[in-house]
Structure 1
Amino acid sequence: MSDVRVHRTRHSVDVDAQPGVVYGLIADAERWPLFFPPNVHVERLEFDGRDERLRMWATANGDVRSWLSERTQDPAARRITFRQTRPQAPVETMEGSWVVEERPGGGTRLVLLHDFTVAGDRFEDVRWVETACDTNSRAELASLKGIAERWTLLDDLVLSFEDSVRVHGPAELVYDFLYRVGDWPELVPHVSRLDVTEPAPGVQVMAMDTVTADGGTHTTESVRICFPHAGRIVYKQTATPALMEAHTGEWSVVPDATGVTVVSQHTVVLRESAVERVLGAGAGLPEARRYVREALGRNSTATLNLAKRHAETAIRML
């Protein structure tokens, strides 16, 4: 008989939205970084309409963690089960389920269950996992409730766009410029300060001060996941400017036979409650969308052009 102790947690929230809306948000794991504060990035590796494999990055007690998960979706029962197949220490096993229940008076009750074991079952390790589960589960449920209850506004709140430049130079030099963010204060005029650490290979945690068009400064914090062989850097801002509730993005370097296309992609959830405070009385979501598009696009395009110059200048000097 096994003497491994299984620890269990249960979290729930009542949501004033239809069960189908709530289930859909949980099922769409690739968008979790946009809607769930702890989630940084999700890659769907396999999906057959029911079973899926995911690679996930998220913060846990201030650390960036990554694992592989298997999930089974059951839309008829409105239940999704999950199991980590490659957890990070001190977690030895982790599994659970999302359960979407229709409330008798209308709306939804969402329940999140976790069962986990810890190698050695040391008290401090168990407490670490329990704290991470509790903190992240509460944040995820609260955020999902807020998004689901504003479902009819979501098309206005979410803004996605991209900018690109064409580079006649090697993809490796373009990627190198985008990767070496620690050098940006000397190379990128709108970046006045940038502190970066790399707690694990390909994982960058950074804090950046950006100079705005009116001469002000705002500070953001981000986690970046770097895929050098794929020419991709994905990121999530973990501390955002006032107008943005969430901001995720990607730098991608796409070579072809005649050169390189470098793309900057952004997806933002606007913070509606801050619109008039930031943009003035009478401003609404259309003005906020235009303002954010112009501000992010201006800085992204400037950075793309600097990466272009870096690569093309190096070629001319050879």
Structure 2
Amino acid sequence: MSGERTHRTSYTVDVAAPAGVVYGLIADTTQWPLFMPPSLHVERLDFDGTLDRFHMWVTANGAVRSWLSRRTLDAQSRRIDFRQETPAAPALSMGGTWTVDSRGPERSRLTLVHEFAVAADRPGDADWVRRATDTNSRAELAQLKETAERWKRLDELLLTFEDEVRIKGPAELVYDFLHGVADWPGRVPHVLRLDVTEDVPGVQLVSTDTLAADGSTHTTESVRVCFPYAGRIVYKQTKTPILFAAHTGEWAVTPDETGTTVVSRHSVLLREEAVEHVLGRGADTDRARAYVREALGRTSTTTLNLAKQHAESAIRTL
């Protein structure tokens, strides 16, 4: 193609963690939303241990973008090559490599390289992609470094759980309630304020004031990606309570012959340094895990039961 040239960026960070730990964090794309701030959701399409193909949603220069990517993993050399199959505009092509080099038993060096091109090498488009790449790469490497260096305690800081409600009503009505977050203030008791915009169909930007059990109010911001035909809504909080380093979740609505099962799933990466600040002197990660499980489980179950009431009431009315 005439007029295009390849732009290259490279970023490196030294990490006080074994190379295998660092490689493990970048190898599993499904966990990226917890470990990489710009990553919102990864929908894995194919994976055989070497070839990884997925659809991902990220923030880029303040906007939500998505694309299809393909990766080739080489665990022995700790190298991952990637290329976007359908680059997000204005990129015409985008690819690169992750490499992890061992610098000792518990030290490593992580390098991320991007190569991209824009149509006709337009300076404005090239600057946009370079700015997004620079901002996101620095944020990713900083969070990966912080997370990897806590590798001995990482299992204590990560928790995933779910709550489930059985509904004698159609999945469409359940999904309608969960999708219609603009109507939640006044319907969901812990939601005091909620603003939602959906400039891209199926991608909701949500700002929420939530009432906690102790009477305090928390302001959060989230991006929700909606899959109506699959009965799923996945989300990531982009502005979290102080106790969370990251929080992702999913609403999953599954119909069967006799009704509907709806599940709320949460994955949380705790911010270790905030535990005592939030829960008091002497509080540890066990207490923080129990606190988060109870708080999120309570609000999720409340919302699930309201979705149940919405669906079953509509059926009785009909």
Q: Does 1:239 align with 2:243?
A: no
AA paired with 1:29?
A: T
Cα distance in 2, alignment partners of residues 34 and 173 from structure 1:
30
The aligned residue for residue 93 of structure 1 is 93
CA change 1:255–1:106 in 2 (3 A) is: closer
The aligned residue for residue 295 of structure 2 is 295
Listed as ranges, the gaps of 5+ residues in structure 2 are none
1:264-283 CA distance string (max 9 Å, x none): 00000111111111111111
Shift of 1:2: 4.4
Counterpart of 2:245 in structure 1: which amino acid?
A: E
Contact 2:3 2:121 in 1 (8 A): no
Question: C-alpha deviations, 1:68-126, integer Å up to 9, x for none?
Answer: 00100011111000000101110100010001111268511100000000123222211
Report the TM-score when normalising by structure 1: 0.98
Q: Secondary structure at the match of 1:269?
A: strand
2:32 is matched with which residue? 32
Q: Which runs of 4+ in 1 moved over 2 A?
A: none
Cα distance, 1:7 vs. partner? 0.6
Alignment pair present for 1:216 and 2:216? yes
- SS of corresponding position for 1:303: helix
How well do the aligned residues superpose, as a CA RMSD in angstroms? 1.1
SS at match of 1:186: coil
**Aligned positions of 1:183-222 closer than 5 A:** 183-222=183-222
Contact 2:41–2:57 (Cα < 8 Å) also in 1: yes
Aligned position for 2:128: 128
Amino acid in the other structure paired with 1:242? I
Post-superposition CA distance 1:197-250 (Å, at most 9, x none) = 012110001100000111110000000000000000000000000111100000
Letter in 1 for 2:162: E
Residues in 2 aligned to 1:284 and 1:52: alpha-carbon distance in whole angstroms: 37
Q: Deviations over 1:115-154 (max 9, x none)?
A: 0001232222111111100000000001111111101111
Contact preservation (8 Å) 2:30, 2:43: yes
**Residue matched to 1:307:** 307
CA distance in 2, matches of 1:106, 1:283: 29
Unmatched runs of 5 consecutive residues or more in structure 1: none
Distance 1:106 1:294 in 2: 36
Residues of 1 paired with 2:106 and 2:255: CA distance?
Answer: 52
Amino acid at match of 2:79: R
**What residue is the counterpart of 1:174 in the other structure?**
174
User: What code does the residue aligned with 1:164 have?
Assistant: E
Write out aligned runs for 1:98-109 (5 A). 98-103=98-103, 107-109=107-109
Aligned to 1:252: 252
The answer to whether the Cα contact below 8 Å between 2:19 and 2:106 also exists between their aligned partners in 1 is no
The within-5 A match list for 1:17-166 is 17-103=17-103, 107-166=107-166
Matched residue type, 1:131: R
Whole-angstrom distance in 2 between the partners of 1:105 and 1:131: 35
Measure, in 2, the Cα distance between the counterparts of 1:7 and 1:283: 49
Q: 1:175-206: CA deviations, max 9, x gaps? A: 00000001100210100000010121100011
